[in-house]
């Protein structure tokens, strides 16, 4: 920090120059991110509530009301309008909260997760002192439920199912996990951080979609992130619990607050109200139809990509269930394929078995065409072939 302040206009211009490049990169060639480009109206809402603190809802009662309405909206989408929950910093915090609730509710210390689960579950287990049992995946990249059944012990607190895996958008058989959880008396958490705002709309569009939400009696909590497919600005993760009985074991009173004592069950104390205002506005402005149309368009682009990934050079890991596509080059290592795509200017996510492309609402048909052209170029066996096509 300098001794004297600088000219505000000059500082803002410098800031704009620094940020502009990131925004361009994200909007144009970053097809590896699961985050939304926020709708402009959500940014206005965010700014309107930027001073608010959800950690002190007695003072910020208006925004607290918005949060209740957002949770009711997301709960309704996921078949439980009476769900109890919060808008938190992201899917990571939501998953930590779920395992925290599961541990305290059951007073047990083991969790079974699919090998496809997000790293946040390992963070949660480390923080909470839980032993992780990793269930292998079947050939369709979903959890092996027989393994889960065989590995439930008297110490098992919870099992986790994913509705929209990070790597491939695969959906675990949540219905089977729900039956198992009910039979064995264990907690079932569903991580629908990405899929929670895709699957209900896919269903409305006529796709065959497996049940994954509170309609299934064994589901105790769900992560659903508006900052992923909800078109909301970061940070807007979401955690929903079926019932208050799961929240009580992680709820703390903060009696000293200016607005009066409150019960809090999030990790953070002070919480921004801006993202909540943003999500509230989006749910109202878009409605189910708006989200459905966004998902329809993402799936149209997904189908375009899928149709294009055919032939000699490229292959899909699996037929996508949602707008997440795993692709690899038949004759190259993933590392080499990824490096080449980077050199061609693309920012895709690299997994051990494939590159991930996420088709988000702000992506365009033009972009998918360019991507396909470059995927095919990059997948050519050797540099000589690649250089020849780049010169062409
Ligand atoms: C399925 C899933 N769960 C949780 C997360 C973590 O979300 P966040 O990065 O918002 O903490 C991700 C991130 O991509 C995810 O794909």
Q: What does the pLDDT look like over 159-180, one tens digit per residue?
A: 999 999 999 999 999 999 999 9
Which DSSP category does 197 fall into? G
What pLDDT is stored for residue 24 in this prediction?
82
Tell me the CB-side half-sphere exposure of residue 295, using CA atoms within 13 A: 26
Could you tell which of 30, 34, 235 is best to mutate to test the pocket of ligand 1, judged by most ligand atoms within 8 Å of the CB? 34
Query: 322, 341, 326: which is closest to 380 by C-alpha?
Result: 341
**d(C-alpha 332, C-alpha 348), whole Å:** 16
What pLDDT is stored for residue 210 in this prediction?
96
Q: Is the pLDDT of residue 390 over 70?
A: no
Q: Is the pLDDT of residue 388 over 80?
A: no
Ligand 1 atom with least separation from CA of 34? 14
Q: Please, what is the end-to-end C-alpha distance for the chain in angstroms?
A: 50
**d(C-alpha 337, C-alpha 345), whole Å:** 13
More confident residue, 258 or 376: 376
Percent of the chain scored above 90 by pLDDT? 91
Ligand 1 atom with least separation from CA of 235? 10
| Sign of the alpha-carbon dihedral angle for 94, 100, 104, 106 | positive
Rounded to the nearest angstrom, the distance between the alpha carbon of 148 and the centre of ligand 1 is 23
What pLDDT is stored for residue 311 in this prediction?
79
Element (H, E) at 299: helix 274-308
Rounded to the nearest angstrom, the distance between the alpha carbon of 166 and the centre of ligand 1 is 7
Q: What is the arithmetic mean of pLDDT over 33-55?
A: 96
**d(C-alpha 203, C-alpha 211), whole Å:** 10
pLDDT in tens, 255-308: 888 888 789 999 999 999 999 999 999 999 999 999 999 999 999 999 999 999
Q: What is the arithmetic mean of pLDDT over 211-231?
A: 98
The tokens of 74 are what? 């997301």
What pLDDT is stored for residue 365 in this prediction?
96
Ligand 1 atom with least separation from CA of 195? 1
The tokens of 277 are what? 């205002």
Q: Is the pLDDT of residue 241 over 80?
A: yes
What pLDDT is stored for residue 14 in this prediction?
95
Confidence of residue 386 (pLDDT cuts 50, 70, 90): low
Query: Residues lining ligand 1, CB < 6 A?
Result: 34, 90-92, 95, 118, 120, 162, 164, 166, 191, 193-194, 225, 237
Confidence of residue 392 (pLDDT cuts 50, 70, 90): low
What pLDDT is stored for residue 133 in this prediction?
98
Residue nearest to atom 16 of ligand 1 (CA): 166
Q: What is the arithmetic mean of pLDDT over 31-42?
A: 94
Query: 88, 86, 89, 63: which is closest to 74 by C-alpha?
Result: 86
Ligand 1 atom with least separation from CA of 93? 11
pLDDT in tens, 81-131: 999 999 999 999 999 999 999 999 999 999 999 999 999 999 999 999 999
What pLDDT is stored for residue 31 in this prediction?
92
Contacts 24+ apart (CB under 8 A), 108-112: 108/154, 108/155, 108/156, 108/157, 109/155, 109/157, 110/153, 110/155, 110/156, 110/157, 111/156, 111/157, 111/158, 111/159, 111/160, 112/148, 112/151, 112/152, 112/156, 112/158, 112/159, 112/160
pLDDT in tens, 131-150: 999 999 999 999 999 999 99
**d(C-alpha 31, C-alpha 374), whole Å:** 13
Rounded to the nearest angstrom, the distance between the alpha carbon of 361 and the centre of ligand 1 is 18
| Helices 383-391, 365-378: inter-axial angle, 10-degree rounding | 140
What are the Cα distances from residue 380, in Å, to 32, 244, 342, 376? 21, 55, 15, 7
Tell me the three state secondary structure of residue 287.
helix
Q: Is the pLDDT of residue 385 over 80?
A: no
| pTM higher than 0.85 | yes
Q: What is the arithmetic mean of pLDDT over 173-190?
A: 98
**d(C-alpha 340, C-alpha 235), whole Å:** 32
Rounded to the nearest angstrom, the distance between the alpha carbon of 91 and the centre of ligand 1 is 5
Main-chain dihedrals φ then ψ at residue 247, nearest 5 degrees: -85, -35
Rounded to the nearest angstrom, the distance between the alpha carbon of 134 and the centre of ligand 1 is 18
**d(C-alpha 226, C-alpha 166), whole Å:** 15
What pLDDT is stored for residue 389 in this prediction?
64
Rounded to the nearest angstrom, the distance between the alpha carbon of 324 and the centre of ligand 1 is 13
Rounded to the nearest angstrom, the distance between the alpha carbon of 75 and the centre of ligand 1 is 19
Rounded to the nearest angstrom, the distance between the alpha carbon of 121 and the centre of ligand 1 is 10
**d(C-alpha 194, C-alpha 287), whole Å:** 18
Residue nearest to atom 15 of ligand 1 (CA): 166
Residue nearest to atom 5 of ligand 1 (CA): 91
Q: What is the mean pLDDT of the chain?
A: 95
What are the Cα distances from residue 1, in Å, to 7, 12, 125, 145, 190? 14, 16, 39, 56, 45
Confidence of residue 357 (pLDDT cuts 50, 70, 90): very high
Four-CA torsion 348, 358, 75, 130, nearest 10 degrees:
-40
The edge-to-edge listing of strands for the beta sheet with 314-316 is 314-316, 324-329, 355-358, 349-350
Confidence of residue 324 (pLDDT cuts 50, 70, 90): very high
């Amino acid at each position: 920090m300098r001794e004297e302040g600088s000219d505000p206009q000059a500082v803002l211009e410098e800031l704009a120059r620094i940020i502009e490049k990131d925004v361009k990169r994200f909007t144009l060639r970053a097809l590896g991110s699961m985050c939304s480009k926020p709708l402009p109206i959500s940014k206005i809402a965010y700014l309107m509530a930027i001073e608010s603190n959800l950690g002190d809802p007695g003072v910020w009662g208006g925004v607290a009301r918005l949060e209740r309405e957002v949770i009711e909206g997301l709960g309704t989408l996921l078949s439980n309008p009476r769900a109890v929950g919060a808008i938190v910093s992201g899917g990571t915090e939501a998953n930590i909260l779920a395992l925290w609730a599961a541990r305290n509710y059951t007073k047990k210390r083991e969790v079974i997760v699919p090998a496809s689960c997000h790293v946040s579950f390992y963070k949660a287990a480390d923080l909470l002192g839980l032993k992780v049992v990793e269930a292998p995946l079947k050939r369709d990249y979903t959890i092996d439920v027989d393994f889960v059944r065989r590995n439930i012990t008297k110490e098992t607190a919870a099992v986790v199912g994913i509705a929209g895996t990070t790597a491939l958008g695969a959906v675990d058989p949540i219905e089977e996990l729900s039956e198992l959880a009910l039979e064995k008396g264990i907690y079932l958490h569903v991580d629908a951080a990405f899929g929670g705002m895709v699957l209900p709309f896919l269903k409305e569009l006529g796709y065959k979609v497996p049940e994954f939400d509170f309609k299934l009696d064994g589901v105790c909590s769900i992560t659903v992130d508006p900052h992923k497919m909800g078109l909301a600005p970061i940070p807007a993760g979401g955690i929903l619990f079926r019932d208050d009985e799961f929240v009580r074991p992680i709820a703390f009173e903060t009696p000293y607050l200016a607005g009066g004592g409150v019960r809090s069950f999030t990790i953070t104390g002070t919480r921004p109200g801006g993202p909540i205002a943003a999500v509230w506005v989006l749910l109202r402005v878009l409605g189910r139809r708006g989200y459905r149309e966004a998902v329809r368009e993402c799936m149209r682009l997904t189908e375009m990509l899928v149709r294009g990934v055919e032939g000699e050079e490229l292959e899909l890991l699996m037929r996508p269930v949602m707008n997440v596509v795993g692709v690899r080059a038949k004759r190259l290592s993933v590392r080499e394929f990824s490096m080449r795509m980077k050199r061609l200017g693309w920012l895709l996510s690299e997994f051990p078995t494939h590159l991930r492309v996420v088709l988000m609402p702000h992506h365009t048909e033009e972009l998918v065409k360019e991507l396909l052209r470059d995927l095919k170029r990059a997948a050519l066996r050797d540099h000589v072939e690649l250089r020849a096509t780049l010169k062409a």
